[in-house]
A and B are shown apart, each in its own frame.
Chain A
Amino acid sequence: MRTARIVMPKTAKKGEIIEIKTLVTHPMETGYRRDDMGKAIPRDIITLLTVQYAGEEVFRMDMFPGVAANPFAAFTTIATETGELVFTWTDEKGEAHVEKATLTVT
């Protein structure tokens, strides 16, 4: 089970630029490592993070094995309206982890 952390303000003034920090637990196994028996460890990475704000995509990040384990990403967005932010991390098998947060705009 993955856990994700979102750090962002709960409220913001309309038009304010807010920073959103995200982190999800994931090994980001590169596929280039070998175990103690010399057997190749298969690649297992998150390839995509998308963020939707009130139904519209505001941030997308494509990830490769060069992104560190427990991928961290921070970006900014303009507080436009009160609404839900939906964070979706997708791995190579298409499995997704979804996290939601609400921003109240005053």
Chain B
Amino acid sequence: MTNSHDHHLDRRSLLQGAVVVIGAAALAPATVVATPESMSAAMSNALGGVTPKPGRIKLDISPLAENGNSVPLTVTVESPMTAADHVKSIYLFSPENPLPDIARFHIGPRAGRAQVKTSIRLATSQRVHAVAMMSDGSAWADSAEVIVTLSACIDAG
């Protein structure tokens, strides 16, 4: 019993040590990176303080990007796209790029279908976020993790 208890403590302190190391590694590079604060500030600025719920929106992006300079993506939102009920805007955010905002699309009932495509830059592997703002004021979000093998040359290139 005592033995297994000690073992448990060892593992815990080991894990804590690992967290410290990972934290230090994340802080180490002196590059421009969006902070969690600037990311949430960008989101609340774009969404006017509305907290997005998961669902109704799909971010289609390759989980593995060989080149971060141009990563294609498609965003599709479930919406009848009528005058009374439609998608007004679609936002893309990147937590690990120098700027959290990537692009904002503004559409309306004349789009017929709520689907947009573009190509983005990714400075490093990260979770890309897509948010749809509806005509009724609700917001819906999806996100996808993308592993980048060769980063976009945002720093010295």
Query: Is B117 at the interface (CB under 8 A from chain A)?
Result: yes
The CA of A66 and the CA of B68, in the complex, are separated in Å by: 10
Give the size of the chain B interface in residues (CB under 8 angstroms): 35
- Pick the most buried of B32, B103, B113, B118: most chain A CB atoms within 10 A of its CB: B118
User: Are B153 and A67 in contact (CB-based, < 8 A)?
Assistant: no
| Chain B residues positioned under 8 Å from A32 (CB to CB) | 32, 98, 154-155
**What 0/1 pattern do residues 108 to 130 of B give for CB contact below 8 A with A?**
10111101111111000000000
The CA of A38 and the CA of B155, in the complex, are separated in Å by: 11
| Chain B residues positioned under 8 Å from A76 (CB to CB) | 111-113, 115
User: Are A65 and B98 in contact (CB-based, < 8 A)?
Assistant: yes
Give the size of the chain A interface in residues (CB under 8 angstroms): 31
**What 0/1 pattern do residues 20 to 37 of A give for CB contact below 8 A with B?**
010000001010111000
The CA of A65 and the CA of B123, in the complex, are separated in Å by: 11
Task: Write the chain A residue with the least CB distance to B72.
Answer: A72
| Chain B residues positioned under 8 Å from A77 (CB to CB) | 110-112
CB distance from A59 to the nearest CB of B (A): 6
Query: Is A90 at the interface (CB under 8 A from chain B)?
Result: no
User: Are B105 and A61 in contact (CB-based, < 8 A)?
Assistant: yes
Query: Is B70 at the interface (CB under 8 A from chain A)?
Result: yes
Given A32-B32, A53-B110, A77-B112, A67–B154 Cβ distance below 8 Å?
Answer: no
| Chain A residues positioned under 8 Å from B106 (CB to CB) | 59-62
Task: Write the chain B residue with the least CB distance to A78.
Answer: B112
Given A67-B120, A68-B121, A75–B107 Cβ distance below 8 Å?
Answer: yes
| Chain A residues positioned under 8 Å from B99 (CB to CB) | 64-66
| Chain A residues positioned under 8 Å from B101 (CB to CB) | 64, 66
Query: Is A69 at the interface (CB under 8 A from chain B)?
Result: yes
The CA of A78 and the CA of B110, in the complex, are separated in Å by: 6
12 A–B pairs (Cβ distance < 8 Å), ordered by A: A30-B154, A34-B157, A62-B106, A63-B103, A66-B92, A66-B120, A67-B103, A67-B119, A69-B70, A72-B72, A75-B105, A76-B112
Residues of B in contact with A (beta carbons under 8 Å apart): 32, 69-72, 92, 94, 97-99, 101-108, 110-113, 115-121, 152-157
